[in-house]
Amino acid sequence: MKLQAILFPQVAAAAAAPLGTTPNPLSILANRESESPTIFTCAAVNWPPTSVGGLNVPQVPPPELQSMLAQVDPANIEATILKLVSFGTRHTLSTQNSTTRGIGAARDWIASEFQKYADATDGRLTVDVIGYEQPADGNRILFPVRISDVVATLHGTESPERLYVVSGHYDSRVSDVLDYESDAPGADDDASGVAISLELARIMSQPGYPRPRASIAFVAVAGEEQGLYGAQFLAQTYANATPRANVEGMFTNDIVGASKADDGTVDPYTIRLFGQGLPPLGVEDAAVRERRLTIGGESDTPARNLARLVKEVAENADTGMNVSVVYRLDRYLRGGDHRPFLEAGYPAARFTEPNEDFAHQHQDVRVDPATGKQYGDLPEFCDYDFIARVARVNGAALYSLAQSPGAPRNVRVNATALSNDSTFYWDPPAAGEEAVGSYEVVWRATPAPFWTHVMDVGLVNQVTVDLSKDNVIFGIRAKSPDGMRGAAVLPFPVS
């Protein structure tokens, strides 16, 4: 039987603190207060006033997560990047028969590292190398080639079928995307992302830590530079499984190795997180899209609510990072391995350094004789402390999500009659009601980027809130008995 709670304010005091984004985690982080006129600041969108609920605050990492994050070692990350660079080139079309050069040698080394971590566990971490034969495509694949993904899965305890994925791509390239012979170090793009997958697998799989409730896949994919082939294969492998894999979140770390821009600007305490708006039409058909646009939900897609959750749980003193969420799929003229997951209907987002130096991406290794400028994606341009902090952001997000109950399903808002309050209904997450400690209603003013208010409504499946659905954006999220939040879900109208 459905439970119901009806919640109305008992007092008329409005919340005093202004609405806004999560505060900076450390005093070392830059103060980025807006210099715009007051009418354009977050404080100016503190409307409508309400006395229900309270302010949404960041989630403090539990002690075991703090211990995990403290273990992230810049020296390990550096060693991984230097090893991957040592294979000369990791171009997708490079040799796969050598033990010292080419993408095959890199693949085998990555698999052996994951397996080393798995051998040190009690069976909680398993390693698979999966792949397929990609025919020539008349574009960036000149001849048939094996595309291989290395996947290390940390199996959850209570709902192992629910999965979160973190990836980097281990292929590399130089200026000519078809040049598979020249050295292509690929230190930043994207040995840095692979290093994060390896380091988090090493730490989070240790038997001294509790196994997460859901599963986490630590991945290194190939074929990104030639057309996202490895990620496409992995996303479709999950989507076509029987039953379909329940991937509730995917992060790719691609170009997360440097904190200095091409103009010398240094921003070592910020990481960008790209979150897509409207899902592809193959995922959300025209009728659903029309309903989404009607209720103003174009910025409350699963990908964007995943990004909001990351900011809440991973911007803190234990990561030492600002998470700057960018509301778009990716940078202009670029693409990443989160896209195939989005196209498969899975929430996904991309981490990328805040200021890129394009002289150190997709470039032949050379020195310009006129200027003396060094080109090439070399390890000397990586900031290993920065990459370690990015790894901590990923670790905080993955652990929090995997320890949460997951996302509630079939979330609806009653739109059958005109009303100044709002009634919501939802079904438990895929793991069932027993995984839930309580549910929360979250909301924000329509121009605000992040959830600003929250109300814990207990273990119910229906609630009425004395706040008009016409004036704010609402979400429903589930919380574990020990307080770990999942991503919020936008309610669609039921009539």
Tens digit of each residue's pLDDT (9 = 90 or more) over 201-258: 999 999 999 999 999 999 999 999 999 999 999 999 999 999 999 999 999 999 999 9
The reply to whether 63-403 shares the fold of 5-58+412-494 is no
> In this predicted model, what pLDDT tens digit does every residue of 166-186 receive, in sequence order?
999 999 999 999 999 999 999
Q: 7 near 457, Cβ under 8 Å? A: yes
What pLDDT band is residue 490 in, cutting at 50, 70 and 90? very high
Position of tokens 């988090």?
Answer: 200
Report how far residue 259's alpha carbon sits from residue 324's, in angstroms, rounded to the nearest whole number: 14
* pLDDT at site 69: 98
Beta strands in 400-469 (DSSP E): 409-414, 422-427, 438-445, 453-458, 462-465
What pLDDT band is residue 33 in, cutting at 50, 70 and 90? very low
- Alpha-helical runs (H) found in 51-102: 63-71, 74-85
Position of tokens 């995997």?
Answer: 402
> In this predicted model, what pLDDT tens digit does every residue of 269-278 receive, in sequence order?
999 999 999 9
> In this predicted model, what pLDDT tens digit does every residue of 105-128 receive, in sequence order?
999 999 999 999 999 999 999 999
* pLDDT at site 319: 97
* pLDDT at site 38: 53
DSSP H/E element including 367: strand 366-367
* pLDDT at site 272: 97
* pLDDT at site 455: 97
* pLDDT at site 431: 87
Give the N- to C-terminal CA distance of the chain in Å, as an integer: 21
DSSP H/E element including 394: helix 384-403
Q: What is the CATH number of domain 63-403?
A: 3.40.630.10
What pLDDT band is residue 262 in, cutting at 50, 70 and 90? confident
Which pair of structure tokens corresponds to residue 284?
């959300």
For the chain, the helix, strand and coil percentages under 3-state DSSP, each to the nearest 5: 25, 25, 50
* pLDDT at site 43: 64
Contact residues for 16 (Cβ-Cβ < 8 A; gap 6+): none
Q: 367 near 359, Cβ under 8 Å? A: no
Task: Assign domain 5-58+412-494 to its CATH architecture.
Answer: Sandwich (2.60)
- Hey, where are the domains in the chain? 5-58+412-494, 63-403
| Cα Rg of the chain, angstroms | 23
Residue 474, CA distances (Å) to 249, 424, 492 in order:
20, 10, 10
* pLDDT at site 51: 85
- Is residue 266's pLDDT more than 80? yes
* pLDDT at site 18: 39
* pLDDT at site 487: 98
Q: What is the mean pLDDT of residues 328-355?
A: 95
* pLDDT at site 48: 82
Averaged pLDDT score across all residues of the chain:
91
Percent of residues, the chain, with pLDDT higher than 70: 91
* pLDDT at site 45: 63
Report how far residue 441's alpha carbon sits from residue 463's, in angstroms, rounded to the nearest whole number: 9
